[in-house]
Amino acid sequence: MVQEFIEVDDVGTFRLVAEQSPFVIRRDPYLFAQYFSSMIFINVAKLEEREVKRLFDLLRGKMIVVKSLVKASSISDFLEKVAASEVKT
Domain ranges of the chain: 4-88
The DSSP bridge pattern shows strands 4-7 and 38-43 to be: parallel
- pLDDT of res. 89: 58
Its CATH class, for the domain covering 4-88, is alpha beta
Nearest-angstrom CA–CA distance, 4 and 15: 18
Nearest-angstrom CA–CA distance, 72 and 3: 18
What are the mean pLDDT values of the chain's consecutive 10-residue runs (89 residues total)?
A: 90 94 94 93 96 93 91 93 81
